Amino acid sequence: MIGKRLHQLRLARNLSLEALATKMGGMVTKQAIWKYENGKANPSPSILGKLANALGVNASYLLTESSIRVKFIAYRKSAHLLEKDRQVLRSSIAEALENRVRIMDLVGQSDAFKIPMKAFPVDHIEDAEKAAEKMREKWQLGLDPIHNVTATLEENSICIMNIEANEDFDGISALVYDNEDQLKTAALVTRGDIAGERQRLNLTHELGHLVLEVGEGVSEEEAAYRFGAAFLAPAARIYQEVGEKRALVQLREFLFLKRQLGLSIQALTHRLLELNIISDSHYSQWRARINRYGWSKKEPEERPFEESYWLERSLLRLVAEGVMGKREAERILGEEIEMEVPATVIERRSFIKLPLEKRRQILAEQAAKIAGHYETSEEWKELEGGDLIEY
């Protein structure tokens, strides 16, 4: 059992066999770690503890079977993304998703996932447009711009993850099943160092991969892209803002639309073309302008990246409720969690640290002070056992 866990965690930490052996201070060789991962040998309890410490987990974690199965269903990447890099991404995502599913169970969100998986058939590219309209109707979004795509998706129990990756990675979507093959949630992953408008389209593009059932003769990538753009900028809203036919669209208009809808100028020009609002020639003029000014990499007025706060918010709640320890929450979050301790708790802790005789003196003084406010023994009896016993 330890082999699969060990292999996944090592890859998730982007450690080679030799690097992990070095991190353990040379207690074991890389050959020994290879044997552990492939079930050829088992580590001793002391080595197991050192392995766990080097990987930042408890030893018991290495001895437990994963509670989930992750199925990656779409992978947008450049041909330059190496297989080693893909393994690292998959392993780190799988580890994070196992933690998130556990947290969803603890906060009572595990039964809220109701995404219509592969519910919209796409036999023609225009069907993706209709699917986006139906999804907005399902989530009661109307035609209003989506202020925060990340929050909207998380409100519908989709896991949003932003990870560090090289430029050859754009995004990935995955399904998460429990050990009984029940679908628990879906995950949309994007790179964390991109402009907000690109991030938003990446996320809705990945959502398209989840809900579209693409037929033969239709490019799945094109269908997902069309869905993502239509989800962010519905045709009815575009016609309302721009009109149904334009011979010319100015830069200032595109910037207004960009601020309003959260789509890049590149995506907006393509959106106007696919809705037949602008001609092929005008679109080509804009593509040439975008390339000339380098806007394919960095556009004017870039939108801030949308941060996900679901994980931190949920962990703070679980720690405050005493369901999870602070150290465990910090391990999952990957950073220190500062908790504000109520003054009464600090006072009680200080009181407990006092010598016994000093505590008895304080309690006696408190009792005398409180008793002095009550004239009858009946009133005192009602209070007795209240404030005094708090310590």
Per-residue pLDDT in tens (0 to 9) along the chain, 391 residues: 689 999 999 999 999 999 999 999 989 999 999 999 999 999 999 999 999 999 999 899 899 888 899 999 866 655 567 788 888 889 999 999 999 999 999 998 877 677 899 999 999 999 999 999 999 999 999 999 999 999 999 988 899 998 887 777 878 889 999 988 889 999 998 888 899 999 999 999 999 999 999 999 999 999 999 999 999 999 999 999 999 999 999 999 999 999 999 999 999 999 999 999 999 999 999 999 999 999 988 999 999 999 999 999 999 999 989 999 988 999 898 888 887 666 565 566 666 777 878 777 777 776 666 555 544 445 444 444 444 333 3
* Residue 151: domain span: 68-292
49/72 same-domain check: no
Decide if 379 is inside a domain: yes
pLDDT in the model for residue 111: 74
CA distance 109 to 41: 40
80/166 same-domain check: yes
56/161 same-domain check: no
Question: How remote is the C-alpha of 373 from its chain's centroid?
Answer: 56
Q: What angle is formed at CA 12 by the lines to CA 6 and CA 17, rounded to 5 degrees?
A: 55
Domain count, the chain: 3
36/178 same-domain check: no
Whether residue 129 contacts residue 235, with contact meaning beta carbons closer than 8 Å, is answered with yes
CA distance 329 to 322: 11
Question: Which is it for strands 183-191 and 169-178: parallel, antiparallel or unpaired?
Answer: antiparallel
Question: If we measure between CA atoms, which residue out of 68, 70, 297, 76 comes closest to residue 208?
Answer: 76
Decide if 329 is inside a domain: no
Taken in order 333, 336, 338, 341, the sign of the CA dihedral is positive
CA distance 329 to 311: 10
CA distance 67 to 307: 27
pLDDT in the model for residue 270: 97
Domain containing residue 15: CATH number: 1.10.260.40
pLDDT in the model for residue 383: 44
Decide if 137 is inside a domain: yes
168/21 same-domain check: no
131/219 same-domain check: yes
122/242 same-domain check: yes
Given 273, 292, 311, which residue is the final one in a domain? 292
210/288 same-domain check: yes
Evaluate if pTM is beyond 0.85: no
74/222 same-domain check: yes
56/100 same-domain check: no
Looking only at Cα atoms, what is the longest distance across the chain? 95
191/240 same-domain check: yes
